[in-house]
């Protein structure tokens, strides 16, 4: 933490055996800062006192260290905190201050390890898009069900899924209801749920008519509606 008045940094080091990298931060409406680590679960940080509260899935009974590898933090419109890990999706129950596991059933043709939760967007209260290592899924909080986007999978031959399907790194729902999915090999796919159709924005070597690179890990829309797209070869800007 940087104190601008003094120009000094203050370090917050979790009391864990190994110092794992912090890969995601979220300022929650509950006033706390949440930090996701790759190996030690997540921490809720009191920004006034600096006190850290650990939330580690394996300490709650989850089997497999992948559950402590967190890379996604998301707050929905009702203030629920969602945590995406390499072992699946969790939500925080504020009444009990505990984590609730939402198991992903996986896919019969895909190895279970390909279920890292990487991105999330809210369609309406209780319904979400969730990004995984094999593309996007629809998730219902009420039923706990994950539904694959069939037309997404249909674009690939089943025998090539393991090598062709992409990580869904970022998800954005625009004002027209279209869903922007970024991935590590196809750039951005803009999905229109009404017509179950796609428009792809991929790389252009010159950077004038496409993205700087097809590996897109970050997507941000500013207050003016301009899209800022982080790729493996630099930042691209799209003004629709």
126 burial type by CB count under 10 A (0-12 exposed, 13-18 middle, 19+ buried):
middle
Q: What angle do CA 114, 229, 84 make, to 5 degrees?
A: 30
**Span 53-99, pLDDT tens digits:** 989 887 766 666 788 899 999 999 999 999 999 888 999 999 999 89
Specify the pairing of strand 52-55 against strand 42-46.
antiparallel
H/E segment holding residue 7 = none
- CB-based contacts of 53, cutoff 8 Å, min separation 6: 43, 44, 45, 46
Token pair 């829309």 in the structure block, residue: 221
Token pair 């990298």 in the structure block, residue: 21
Would you state the structure tokens that stand for residue 42, as one six-digit string?
A: 């997540």
| Whether the predicted pLDDT of 160 surpasses 60 | no
Between 14 and 141, name the one with better pLDDT.
Answer: 141
Token pair 């869903």 in the structure block, residue: 179
| Whether the predicted pLDDT of 27 surpasses 90 | yes
Question: How large is the average pLDDT for residues 97-122?
Answer: 77
Between 108 and 152, name the one with better pLDDT.
Answer: 152
For residue 163, the model assigns a pLDDT of: 54
Alpha-carbon distance of 114 to 162, in angstroms, equals 9
Confidence band for 133, pLDDT divided at 50, 70 and 90:
confident
For residue 15, the model assigns a pLDDT of: 55
| Whether the predicted pLDDT of 113 surpasses 70 | no
Confidence band for 104, pLDDT divided at 50, 70 and 90:
confident
Alpha-carbon distance of 217 to 119, in angstroms, equals 10
Inter-residue contact 148 to 130 (CB < 8 Å)? no
Under DSSP, the state recorded for 211 is B
Q: How far is CA 108 from the centre of its chain?
A: 23
**Span 194-225, pLDDT tens digits:** 998 889 898 876 666 789 999 999 999 999 99
Inter-residue contact 181 to 168 (CB < 8 Å)? yes
For residue 47, the model assigns a pLDDT of: 86
Alpha-carbon distance of 184 to 215, in angstroms, equals 4
**Span 28-56, pLDDT tens digits:** 999 999 999 998 899 999 988 888 898 98
221 burial type by CB count under 10 A (0-12 exposed, 13-18 middle, 19+ buried):
middle
Confidence band for 3, pLDDT divided at 50, 70 and 90:
confident
């Amino acid at each position: 933490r940087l104190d601008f008045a003094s120009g000094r940094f203050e370090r917050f080091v979790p009391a864990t055996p190994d110092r794992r990298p912090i890969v995601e931060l979220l300022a929650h409406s509950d006033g706390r800062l949440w930090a996701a680590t790759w190996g030690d679960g997540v921490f809720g940080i009191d920004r006034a006192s600096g006190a850290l509260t650990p939330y580690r899935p394996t300490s709650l009974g989850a089997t497999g260290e992948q559950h402590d590898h967190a890379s996604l933090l998301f707050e929905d419109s009702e203030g629920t905190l969602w945590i995406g890990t390499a072992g699946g999706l969790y939500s925080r129950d504020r009444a009990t201050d505990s984590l609730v596991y939402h198991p992903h059933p996986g896919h019969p043709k895909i190895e279970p390890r390909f279920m890292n939760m990487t991105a999330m967007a809210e369609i309406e209260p209780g319904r979400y898009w969730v990004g995984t290592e094999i593309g996007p899924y629809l998730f219902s909080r009420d039923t706990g069900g994950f539904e694959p986007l069939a037309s997404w999978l249909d674009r690939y031959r089943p025998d090539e899924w393991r090598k062709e399907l992409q990580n869904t790194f970022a998800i954005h729902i625009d004002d027209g209801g279209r869903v922007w999915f970024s991935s590590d090999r196809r750039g951005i796919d803009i999905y229109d749920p009404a017509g179950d159709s796609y428009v792809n924005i991929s790389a252009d070597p010159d950077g004038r008519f496409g993205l700087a690179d097809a590996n897109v890990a970050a997507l941000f829309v500013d207050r003016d509606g301009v899209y800022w797209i982080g790729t493996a070869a630099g930042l691209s800007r799209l003004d629709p």
